[in-house]
Structure 1
């Protein structure tokens, strides 16, 4: 099982609304992964425009970057969220892990240090764990995840997988994904600081064996968006690795 560098661009469309506040929504997302031999460098740019009954037009932009060592021991992170041009939140810092646990040192929004539970995973390692589970027909797993998007440390995730089948050339969203095994995945994210029965956030996707995803289903609470893979490029592995 080998993850790959990638640049994937998605169109986002409104799939469902609840509560009646959101009237429309559309957007784009770009997800880029660079293989630096010893680490994964990732960038995610999310751009959503929605129309709401209470707040009119809302333009949400989120930029998320990480540098995650391939040995799973260290990660730096930065998330910037803006609404209608105004900065809502900046979360940044670095985290370290050992099999027995670790810690995260936040620089923003406040300088603080939090402990991370044993067996916590960083995002790329989390993705690899999902794919390895699907390949071995394991239909559910529940690792702790620290991704650097929030200021409360690690999250509990519950993941269900379905299938591990090759996609035909005709059905593949890109020729680069033809004949690769894939699995349908649902991930629920829970805040460990609150004893809530319902997840803070949920996401579904089809994951291919190289870590590329399509058929995104992103649940933002009062509305859900579907993500369609529009373009994909996969760079060659660095020759010096």
Structure 2
């Protein structure tokens, strides 16, 4: 199972807490800690589940000068009448430079058949990717086609949303799984949601740091690179605030989908960028 990083996708130096960013301002992502409770949203197919539960805990920090850090853990318990109970525990730590040109990453996983990876990824001047691993040792990976890293992906999603674009197609390298894959992604961006709008917002969202921040519904589909007509291997949906915070998660793995409800959110004080 791919982790939600993407987290994919989702985390992520600071706008002044009470003010939304202007359309022409650089994207500023707020340092924060967030916890999401996971539950089963849908089950079907050959790996249908009777129940699922779990939690995502993540902490994002940094700025465009010093770079961005992310620590992330997802624990998921999957219960099936045929497969029994299985617990997946994924831990990831990353550092991305503020210019989006390099990333350090380390992840470990239990219950999913992956012992973990530890490596450094850099983009060369021609846009190609060069990855050198510490774990597994003496391993490397290279790819062409100008992939980007997760925080840069998040920034581009917000830029596209601000500009009123409805789609964003980019190639993303996040170091997940065995660390030897670049994913083709399609982001679909919905209509802007005004600050504070919406029913049944979590208490964690009702704080001054988000009172004037708009958000957009976003769905990102991940595809195996180089394969023709095909279904995504993984899809994540969420409401993305202009400062990088996310709510209303849905993680779709094909045969089943998980819902992520935001349980706690701590918006932290940013370290100003001195450049």
Tell me the TM-score normalized by structure 1.
0.91
- CA RMSD in angstroms comes to 2.0
Work out whether residues 66 and 273 of structure 2, in 8 Å CA contact, stay in contact via their aligned partners in 1: no
Counterpart for residue 180 of structure 2? 152
- Identify the match of residue 257 of structure 2 among 224, 229, 235: 224
Aligned equivalents of 2:186, 2:137: Cα separation in 1:
29
Counterpart for residue 120 of structure 1? 147
Counterpart for residue 162 of structure 2? 135
Residues 75-102 of structure 1: CA distance to partner in whole angstroms, max 9, x if unpaired? 011121112xx86331221100145222
Gap regions ≥5 residues in structure 1: none
Work out whether residues 169 and 178 of structure 1, in 8 Å CA contact, stay in contact via their aligned partners in 2: no
Please show how residues 1-241 of structure 1 align to structure 2 within 5 Å.
1-19=27-45, 21-35=48-62, 37-83=65-111, 88-98=114-124, 100-101=126-127, 102-109=129-136, 111-150=138-177, 151-168=179-196, 171=199, 172-173=201-202, 174=205, 175=207, 176-192=209-225, 194-195=227-228, 197-238=230-271, 241=274
Aligned equivalents of 2:266, 2:125: Cα separation in 1:
34
1:147 and 1:199, CA in 2 relative to 1: closer, same or farther beyond 3 A? same
Work out whether residues 96 and 103 of structure 1, in 8 Å CA contact, stay in contact via their aligned partners in 2: yes
Work out whether residues 104 and 153 of structure 1, in 8 Å CA contact, stay in contact via their aligned partners in 2: no
Gap regions ≥5 residues in structure 2: 1-26
What is the Cα deviation at residue 240 of structure 1? 7.5
1:193 and 1:107, CA in 2 relative to 1: closer, same or farther beyond 3 A? farther
Aligned equivalents of 2:92, 2:123: Cα separation in 1:
20
Which structure exhibits the higher relative contact order, with contacts defined as CA atoms closer than 8 Å and separated by 6 or more residues? 2
Q: Segments of 4+ in structure 1 off by > 6 A? A: none
Aligned equivalents of 2:160, 2:125: Cα separation in 1:
19
Aligned equivalents of 1:132, 1:141: Cα separation in 2:
10
What is the Cα deviation at residue 192 of structure 1? 1.2
Counterpart for residue 10 of structure 2? none
Aligned equivalents of 1:130, 1:170: Cα separation in 2:
21
Aligned equivalents of 1:40, 1:118: Cα separation in 2:
24
Work out whether residues 69 and 95 of structure 2, in 8 Å CA contact, stay in contact via their aligned partners in 1: yes
Aligned equivalents of 1:91, 1:221: Cα separation in 2:
25
